[in-house]
Amino acid sequence: MQFTSTDIAQVESTWHQFVPSSSLQNADPRHFRFDWHSETLDSVAVVNYRLAAQIHSLAEPQDQLLVCRVDAPDARVWSARHSLDPGRPWISDGTRVEARWDRAARVRAFVVDRAAAETRAAQITGADGRKLRTTGFAPPSAVAAQRWERAFSYVEGVLDDDAAEPLLIAELERHVLMMTLATFPTTFSEYLDRPAQRAAAPAAVRRALAYIDENAHRAITIDDVAAASFISTRGLQYAFRRALDITPAEALRRARLDGARRDLHAGNGRSVTEISRRWGFSNSSRFSAAYREVYGNTPSLTGP
């Protein structure tokens, strides 16, 4: 979705589609301009807008994780008695967060479905039935905040390409959640301290490899591989390391490289870039480097 508007009601209605509790207060209609850009995936929305106005906004996400950065020279961001650093992103899983600025601001946000996030976090850690909660508003360091900024730019850049393939979309959703959980204080870090599930490792590895071989062309992630192997993602990672000295992600990447190689040999694509994106590689240079490392030559030298 992308549009420009000077209609306050339209702007508030649009933001309500993503965060129903949000509102814009004390907006000056004489100096109001809104440039909106968003992309919606299955369980994640990526929002980037510029709002020129004197404004007081608030959000109190319901059944969502809202990760947001308000970028304005005069911005003030707070929640109850807590003043937040406007130079860093913040997260809320239900607590009201308010912001105010006088001229213009750029706002970037990930809006993550909480139930989907909890399901994936449980699959990764093996901590079933645990609630995923935030334990603080801000990243613990400037480095962590910068990591989130880079992640947002990367995800938005891939989604701006109309040719984004389903495999890429699935990985982007996982990337958004993992980057969010790695950047902000949540109960996810507590679950990671639990011992990894290690039962039935050899059988789980065999099931995982079979599932990868059959489904590498589909929009699956390593969490899907683990679920099909009846083990947590952490447990599967341990099992792969012990049995094969590689990670499940490396096995999935190798299967997709093999698929890309078959397509290159068969001429099933207009270009190397098209084939690489079809098989889940968003960066052509990295695809070429990985391909050369495995097969000893470049994709451009592989053909029918």
Amino acid present at 28: D
Amino acid present at 43: S
Residue showing tokens 């001429």: 267
What pLDDT sits at residue 165? 77
Condensed to tens digits (0 to 9), the pLDDT of residues 224-255 reads 999 998 888 988 998 898 888 889 999 999 99
Dihedral (Cα; 61, 131, 173, 124), 10-degree rounding: 170
What pLDDT sits at residue 162? 57
What pLDDT sits at residue 26? 74
Condensed to tens digits (0 to 9), the pLDDT of residues 19-42 reads 887 777 777 777 788 899 999 888
Show the tokens assigned to 147: 């990591």
Stated pTM of the model: 0.74
Please report, for residues 141, 239, 247, 257, 296, the alpha-carbon distance to residue 244 in angstroms, rounded to integers and kept in the order given: 36, 8, 8, 18, 22
CATH code linked to domain 195-301:
1.10.10.60
What pLDDT sits at residue 124? 79
What pLDDT sits at residue 194? 56
Taking 90 as the threshold, does the pLDDT of residue 2 lie above it?
no
Whether the Cβ atoms of residue 93 and residue 102 lie closer than 8 Å to each other: no
Condensed to tens digits (0 to 9), the pLDDT of residues 44-95 reads 999 999 988 888 888 888 889 999 999 999 999 999 878 999 889 999 998 8
Please report, for residues 17, 29, 101, the alpha-carbon distance to residue 156 in angstroms, rounded to integers and kept in the order given: 19, 30, 25
Higher-pLDDT residue of 303 and 64 is: 64
CATH superfamily ID and name for 2-176: Jelly Rolls (2.60.120.10)
Residues of the chain with CATH 2.60.120.10: 2-176
Q: How many CA atoms lie within 13 A of 169 on its CB side?
A: 17
Mean pLDDT along residues 129-158: 87
What pLDDT sits at residue 127? 65
Residues of the chain with CATH 1.10.10.60: 195-301
Condensed to tens digits (0 to 9), the pLDDT of residues 247-301 reads 999 999 999 998 998 888 888 877 888 888 888 888 888 888 888 888 888 888 7
What pLDDT sits at residue 103? 85
Mean pLDDT along residues 204-209: 89
Confidence class for position 197, pLDDT limits 50, 70, 90? low
Whether the Cβ atoms of residue 120 and residue 173 lie closer than 8 Å to each other: no
